[in-house]
Structure 1
Amino acid sequence: MNILLPVDGSALSLQAVHHAIRLTRQGLNASFVLANVQEHSSLYEVMVMHDAEALQRVRLTAGEHSLAEADALLTEAGIEHQIEVALGDPAHTLIDIIERFQCDSVIMGAHGMGESSAVVGDVAQALLRGSPVPVMIVRPPPEPESLEEESDAARAAASQGADADE
Protein backbone atom coordinates (compact mmCIF):
# COMPACT_ATOMS: atom_id res chain seq x y z
CA MET A 1 0.00 0.00 0.00
CA ASN A 2 1.34 3.42 -0.96
CA ILE A 3 0.01 6.39 1.05
CA LEU A 4 0.38 10.08 0.33
CA LEU A 5 1.34 12.28 3.29
CA PRO A 6 1.02 15.95 2.30
CA VAL A 7 3.21 18.03 4.62
CA ASP A 8 3.46 21.81 4.73
CA GLY A 9 5.61 22.04 7.85
CA SER A 10 2.69 22.90 10.13
CA ALA A 11 2.20 21.13 13.45
CA LEU A 12 -1.01 19.51 12.21
CA SER A 13 0.64 18.07 9.11
CA LEU A 14 3.30 16.55 11.39
CA GLN A 15 0.53 15.09 13.57
CA ALA A 16 -0.70 13.31 10.43
CA VAL A 17 2.83 11.88 10.01
CA HIS A 18 2.81 10.71 13.66
CA HIS A 19 -0.61 9.11 13.02
CA ALA A 20 0.78 7.28 9.98
CA ILE A 21 3.72 6.03 12.06
CA ARG A 22 1.31 4.75 14.74
CA LEU A 23 -0.69 2.91 12.08
CA THR A 24 2.43 1.16 10.79
CA ARG A 25 3.44 0.19 14.32
CA GLN A 26 -0.04 -1.31 14.72
CA GLY A 27 0.48 -3.50 11.67
CA LEU A 28 -0.29 -1.39 8.59
CA ASN A 29 2.05 -2.51 5.82
CA ALA A 30 2.61 0.68 3.82
CA SER A 31 5.15 2.93 2.22
CA PHE A 32 4.64 6.66 2.06
CA VAL A 33 5.07 9.58 -0.29
CA LEU A 34 5.90 12.74 1.64
CA ALA A 35 4.78 15.62 -0.54
CA ASN A 36 5.03 19.37 -0.31
CA VAL A 37 3.50 21.67 -2.88
CA GLN A 38 4.84 25.17 -3.29
CA GLU A 39 2.59 27.63 -5.07
CA HIS A 40 3.92 29.39 -8.15
CA SER A 41 5.67 32.72 -7.70
CA SER A 42 3.56 35.83 -7.60
CA LEU A 43 3.93 38.56 -10.22
CA TYR A 44 5.53 40.75 -7.56
CA GLU A 45 8.18 38.11 -6.81
CA VAL A 46 8.94 37.71 -10.49
CA MET A 47 9.23 41.49 -10.94
CA VAL A 48 11.54 41.88 -7.95
CA MET A 49 13.79 38.87 -8.54
CA HIS A 50 13.85 38.84 -12.37
CA ASP A 51 15.06 35.24 -12.43
CA ALA A 52 12.40 32.54 -12.77
CA GLU A 53 14.93 29.72 -12.28
CA ALA A 54 16.21 31.27 -9.03
CA LEU A 55 12.62 31.63 -7.80
CA GLN A 56 11.96 27.99 -8.60
CA ARG A 57 15.11 26.93 -6.70
CA VAL A 58 13.95 29.00 -3.71
CA ARG A 59 10.53 27.32 -3.81
CA LEU A 60 12.02 23.83 -4.07
CA THR A 61 14.41 24.55 -1.19
CA ALA A 62 11.48 25.81 0.90
CA GLY A 63 9.57 22.60 0.09
CA GLU A 64 12.51 20.44 1.12
CA HIS A 65 12.79 22.42 4.36
CA SER A 66 9.06 21.88 5.03
CA LEU A 67 9.51 18.12 4.62
CA ALA A 68 12.70 17.79 6.68
CA GLU A 69 11.09 17.01 10.05
CA ALA A 70 8.57 14.57 8.57
CA ASP A 71 11.38 12.88 6.63
CA ALA A 72 13.41 12.54 9.83
CA LEU A 73 10.41 11.05 11.70
CA LEU A 74 9.79 8.38 9.05
CA THR A 75 13.50 7.62 8.68
CA GLU A 76 13.90 7.24 12.46
CA ALA A 77 10.89 4.91 12.51
CA GLY A 78 12.45 2.84 9.72
CA ILE A 79 9.50 3.41 7.40
CA GLU A 80 10.01 3.30 3.63
CA HIS A 81 9.15 6.60 1.97
CA GLN A 82 9.78 8.85 -0.98
CA ILE A 83 9.91 12.64 -1.10
CA GLU A 84 8.24 14.84 -3.68
CA VAL A 85 8.39 18.64 -3.84
CA ALA A 86 6.22 20.13 -6.55
CA LEU A 87 5.14 23.53 -7.79
CA GLY A 88 1.52 24.45 -8.51
CA ASP A 89 -1.93 24.71 -7.02
CA PRO A 90 -1.76 22.52 -3.89
CA ALA A 91 -4.97 20.53 -4.32
CA HIS A 92 -4.60 19.85 -8.04
CA THR A 93 -0.91 19.07 -7.70
CA LEU A 94 -1.54 16.63 -4.82
CA ILE A 95 -4.09 14.81 -6.99
CA ASP A 96 -1.46 14.61 -9.74
CA ILE A 97 1.00 13.18 -7.18
CA ILE A 98 -1.59 10.60 -6.07
CA GLU A 99 -1.91 9.42 -9.65
CA ARG A 100 1.80 9.60 -10.53
CA PHE A 101 2.91 7.64 -7.45
CA GLN A 102 -0.12 5.31 -7.62
CA CYS A 103 -1.12 6.10 -4.04
CA ASP A 104 -3.86 4.00 -2.50
CA SER A 105 -4.93 6.61 0.06
CA VAL A 106 -4.05 9.93 1.69
CA ILE A 107 -3.43 10.81 5.34
CA MET A 108 -3.36 14.54 5.97
CA GLY A 109 -3.98 17.23 8.54
CA ALA A 110 -7.35 18.95 8.62
CA HIS A 111 -5.76 22.23 7.66
CA GLY A 112 -2.37 23.66 6.97
CA MET A 113 -0.46 26.80 7.76
CA GLY A 114 -2.57 29.91 7.84
CA GLU A 115 -5.85 28.04 8.27
CA SER A 116 -5.74 27.41 12.01
CA SER A 117 -9.33 28.51 12.63
CA ALA A 118 -10.75 26.31 9.89
CA VAL A 119 -12.26 22.97 10.86
CA VAL A 120 -11.18 21.60 7.50
CA GLY A 121 -9.00 23.78 5.30
CA ASP A 122 -9.32 24.53 1.62
CA VAL A 123 -6.78 21.96 0.44
CA ALA A 124 -8.24 19.20 2.63
CA GLN A 125 -11.74 20.03 1.37
CA ALA A 126 -10.57 19.98 -2.23
CA LEU A 127 -8.92 16.58 -1.72
CA LEU A 128 -12.00 15.19 0.00
CA ARG A 129 -14.03 16.24 -3.06
CA GLY A 130 -11.58 15.42 -5.84
CA SER A 131 -9.25 12.66 -4.72
CA PRO A 132 -9.51 9.40 -6.64
CA VAL A 133 -8.54 7.53 -3.44
CA PRO A 134 -9.78 7.62 0.19
CA VAL A 135 -8.61 10.56 2.31
CA MET A 136 -8.09 10.30 6.07
CA ILE A 137 -8.20 13.66 7.86
CA VAL A 138 -6.26 14.01 11.12
CA ARG A 139 -8.00 16.57 13.29
CA PRO A 140 -6.21 18.93 15.63
CA PRO A 141 -6.14 17.97 19.31
CA PRO A 142 -8.79 19.60 21.50
CA GLU A 143 -8.01 23.05 22.80
CA PRO A 144 -6.75 23.13 26.42
CA GLU A 145 -9.87 25.08 27.43
CA SER A 146 -12.05 22.26 26.11
CA LEU A 147 -10.05 19.74 28.13
CA GLU A 148 -10.53 21.81 31.30
CA GLU A 149 -14.28 22.05 30.64
CA GLU A 150 -14.47 18.29 30.07
CA SER A 151 -12.49 17.66 33.26
CA ASP A 152 -14.75 20.01 35.21
CA ALA A 153 -17.82 18.25 33.80
CA ALA A 154 -16.34 14.82 34.64
CA ARG A 155 -15.53 15.95 38.21
CA ALA A 156 -19.05 17.36 38.60
CA ALA A 157 -20.60 14.11 37.34
CA ALA A 158 -18.36 12.08 39.64
CA SER A 159 -19.27 14.18 42.66
CA GLN A 160 -22.97 13.89 41.81
CA GLY A 161 -22.55 10.12 41.61
CA ALA A 162 -20.74 10.14 44.96
CA ASP A 163 -23.52 12.24 46.50
CA ALA A 164 -26.12 9.76 45.25
CA ASP A 165 -24.18 6.87 46.85
CA GLU A 166 -24.21 8.52 50.27
Structure 2
Amino acid sequence: MKILVPIDGSALALVALRHVIMLLQAGLRAELVLANVQPPANLYEWMRTPDPRALSEIAEAAGQHALETAESLLRDAGLDATEVLVTGDPAHALLELIESEGCDMVVMGSHGGSALRSALQGSVSQAMVHNSPVPVTLVKPAEATETSPASLAEVDDVAGESADA
Protein backbone atom coordinates (compact mmCIF):
# COMPACT_ATOMS: atom_id res chain seq x y z
CA MET A 1 0.00 0.00 0.00
CA LYS A 2 1.21 3.49 -0.82
CA ILE A 3 -0.19 6.52 1.03
CA LEU A 4 -0.05 10.08 -0.31
CA VAL A 5 0.23 12.70 2.45
CA PRO A 6 0.01 16.31 1.18
CA ILE A 7 2.24 18.63 3.22
CA ASP A 8 1.59 22.33 2.81
CA GLY A 9 3.56 23.49 5.84
CA SER A 10 0.44 23.91 7.98
CA ALA A 11 -0.20 22.43 11.41
CA LEU A 12 -3.21 20.58 9.95
CA ALA A 13 -0.97 18.73 7.49
CA LEU A 14 1.22 17.65 10.39
CA VAL A 15 -1.83 16.38 12.29
CA ALA A 16 -2.55 14.12 9.30
CA LEU A 17 1.07 12.97 9.13
CA ARG A 18 1.07 12.15 12.85
CA HIS A 19 -2.07 10.06 12.24
CA VAL A 20 -0.29 8.10 9.50
CA ILE A 21 2.81 7.66 11.69
CA MET A 22 0.59 6.26 14.45
CA LEU A 23 -0.95 3.78 12.00
CA LEU A 24 2.48 2.67 10.77
CA GLN A 25 3.76 2.24 14.32
CA ALA A 26 0.67 0.16 15.08
CA GLY A 27 1.61 -2.24 12.30
CA LEU A 28 0.20 -0.88 9.03
CA ARG A 29 2.56 -1.79 6.22
CA ALA A 30 2.72 1.07 3.77
CA GLU A 31 5.04 3.34 1.85
CA LEU A 32 4.64 7.09 2.27
CA VAL A 33 4.71 9.76 -0.38
CA LEU A 34 4.94 13.29 1.02
CA ALA A 35 3.81 15.84 -1.53
CA ASN A 36 4.15 19.60 -1.53
CA VAL A 37 2.37 21.57 -4.24
CA GLN A 38 3.53 25.11 -4.89
CA PRO A 39 1.13 27.42 -6.72
CA PRO A 40 2.28 28.68 -10.11
CA ALA A 41 3.93 32.10 -10.16
CA ASN A 42 1.45 34.94 -10.40
CA LEU A 43 1.76 38.00 -12.62
CA TYR A 44 3.43 40.05 -9.89
CA GLU A 45 6.07 37.36 -9.34
CA TRP A 46 6.72 37.15 -13.09
CA MET A 47 7.12 40.93 -13.24
CA ARG A 48 9.57 40.95 -10.30
CA THR A 49 11.48 37.85 -11.40
CA PRO A 50 11.00 37.15 -15.12
CA ASP A 51 13.55 34.30 -15.09
CA PRO A 52 11.67 30.95 -15.11
CA ARG A 53 14.66 29.14 -13.60
CA ALA A 54 14.79 31.58 -10.66
CA LEU A 55 11.04 31.20 -10.09
CA SER A 56 11.43 27.43 -10.14
CA GLU A 57 14.25 27.61 -7.58
CA ILE A 58 12.13 29.83 -5.32
CA ALA A 59 9.20 27.40 -5.53
CA GLU A 60 11.48 24.45 -4.79
CA ALA A 61 13.00 26.21 -1.76
CA ALA A 62 9.52 27.02 -0.44
CA GLY A 63 8.45 23.40 -0.91
CA GLN A 64 11.55 22.07 0.85
CA HIS A 65 10.91 24.47 3.73
CA ALA A 66 7.31 23.25 4.03
CA LEU A 67 8.54 19.64 4.22
CA GLU A 68 11.18 20.21 6.93
CA THR A 69 8.99 19.56 9.97
CA ALA A 70 7.41 16.53 8.30
CA GLU A 71 10.88 15.13 7.61
CA SER A 72 11.77 15.69 11.26
CA LEU A 73 8.65 13.86 12.47
CA LEU A 74 9.43 10.90 10.21
CA ARG A 75 13.07 10.83 11.28
CA ASP A 76 12.05 10.82 14.96
CA ALA A 77 9.70 7.91 14.26
CA GLY A 78 12.40 5.98 12.36
CA LEU A 79 10.43 6.16 9.11
CA ASP A 80 11.17 7.48 5.66
CA ALA A 81 9.17 8.62 2.67
CA THR A 82 9.44 9.58 -0.94
CA GLU A 83 9.17 13.35 -1.30
CA VAL A 84 7.61 15.00 -4.31
CA LEU A 85 7.59 18.73 -5.04
CA VAL A 86 5.33 19.96 -7.84
CA THR A 87 3.92 23.25 -9.07
CA GLY A 88 0.31 23.77 -10.05
CA ASP A 89 -3.22 23.86 -8.76
CA PRO A 90 -3.08 21.80 -5.53
CA ALA A 91 -6.11 19.58 -6.12
CA HIS A 92 -5.24 18.82 -9.74
CA ALA A 93 -1.58 18.23 -8.92
CA LEU A 94 -2.47 15.85 -6.08
CA LEU A 95 -4.86 13.93 -8.32
CA GLU A 96 -2.07 13.54 -10.89
CA LEU A 97 0.34 12.39 -8.17
CA ILE A 98 -2.07 9.66 -7.10
CA GLU A 99 -1.72 8.18 -10.56
CA SER A 100 1.97 8.88 -11.24
CA GLU A 101 3.12 7.62 -7.83
CA GLY A 102 0.70 4.67 -7.77
CA CYS A 103 -0.91 5.70 -4.47
CA ASP A 104 -3.63 3.59 -2.92
CA MET A 105 -5.01 6.22 -0.57
CA VAL A 106 -4.65 9.84 0.54
CA VAL A 107 -4.50 11.07 4.13
CA MET A 108 -4.71 14.81 4.57
CA GLY A 109 -5.56 17.46 7.12
CA SER A 110 -8.84 19.31 7.03
CA HIS A 111 -10.20 22.36 8.79
CA GLY A 112 -13.49 20.54 9.24
CA GLY A 113 -15.44 23.52 7.96
CA SER A 114 -19.02 23.53 6.77
CA ALA A 115 -20.04 22.59 3.24
CA LEU A 116 -20.88 26.25 2.53
CA ARG A 117 -17.45 27.40 3.73
CA SER A 118 -15.76 24.71 1.62
CA ALA A 119 -17.77 25.71 -1.45
CA LEU A 120 -16.90 29.37 -1.02
CA GLN A 121 -13.21 28.74 -0.35
CA GLY A 122 -12.71 25.95 -2.88
CA SER A 123 -11.35 23.51 -0.32
CA VAL A 124 -8.59 21.24 -1.63
CA SER A 125 -9.72 18.48 0.75
CA GLN A 126 -13.29 18.62 -0.61
CA ALA A 127 -12.01 18.52 -4.18
CA MET A 128 -9.96 15.45 -3.28
CA VAL A 129 -12.91 13.71 -1.63
CA HIS A 130 -15.08 14.29 -4.69
CA ASN A 131 -12.54 13.56 -7.43
CA SER A 132 -9.99 11.10 -6.07
CA PRO A 133 -9.96 7.63 -7.62
CA VAL A 134 -8.66 6.24 -4.28
CA PRO A 135 -10.00 6.60 -0.72
CA VAL A 136 -9.29 9.92 1.01
CA THR A 137 -9.07 10.13 4.79
CA LEU A 138 -9.52 13.62 6.25
CA VAL A 139 -7.93 14.13 9.65
CA LYS A 140 -9.21 17.01 11.74
CA PRO A 141 -7.51 18.32 14.88
CA ALA A 142 -8.80 16.51 17.95
CA GLU A 143 -9.30 19.79 19.84
CA ALA A 144 -12.48 20.81 18.01
CA THR A 145 -15.00 19.61 15.51
CA GLU A 146 -15.20 23.08 13.98
CA THR A 147 -11.66 24.42 13.99
CA SER A 148 -11.43 27.81 15.63
CA PRO A 149 -8.42 30.13 15.52
CA ALA A 150 -7.73 29.25 19.17
CA SER A 151 -7.65 25.50 18.50
CA LEU A 152 -5.40 26.03 15.47
CA ALA A 153 -3.01 28.01 17.68
CA GLU A 154 -2.85 24.99 20.00
CA VAL A 155 -2.07 22.71 17.05
CA ASP A 156 0.60 25.18 15.89
CA ASP A 157 2.13 25.09 19.39
CA VAL A 158 2.32 21.29 19.24
CA ALA A 159 3.82 21.46 15.74
CA GLY A 160 6.38 23.97 16.94
CA GLU A 161 7.33 21.75 19.87
CA SER A 162 8.00 18.77 17.62
CA ALA A 163 9.97 20.93 15.20
CA ASP A 164 12.11 22.14 18.11
CA ALA A 165 12.64 18.62 19.47
Coarse TM-score class (shorter-chain normalised): 0.7 to 0.9
CA distance in 1: counterparts of 2:19 and 2:143, whole angstroms: 16
CA distance in 2: counterparts of 1:105 and 1:87, whole angstroms: 21
| Map 1:6-155 → 2, pairs under 5 A | 6-111=6-111, 118-119=113-114, 122-143=123-144
CA distance in 2: counterparts of 1:10 and 1:42, whole angstroms: 21
2:152 aligns to what? none
Q: CA deviation at 1:61?
A: 0.7
Mind listing any 5+ residue stretches in structure 2 that lack a counterpart? 148-165
Backbone CA RMSD of aligned residues: 1.7
Question: How many residues are paired up?
Answer: 139
Mind listing any 5+ residue stretches in structure 1 that lack a counterpart? 112-116, 147-166
Q: Deviations over 1:31-52 (max 9, x none)?
A: 1000000000001110111212
2:3 aligns to what? 3
The residue matched to 2:33 in structure 1 has which SS? strand
TM-score (norm 1): 0.79
- Provide the identity percentage: 46
Contact 1:31 1:79 in 2 (8 A): no
TM-score (norm 2): 0.79
CA distance in 1: counterparts of 2:57 and 2:33, whole angstroms: 21
**Rg larger for:** 1
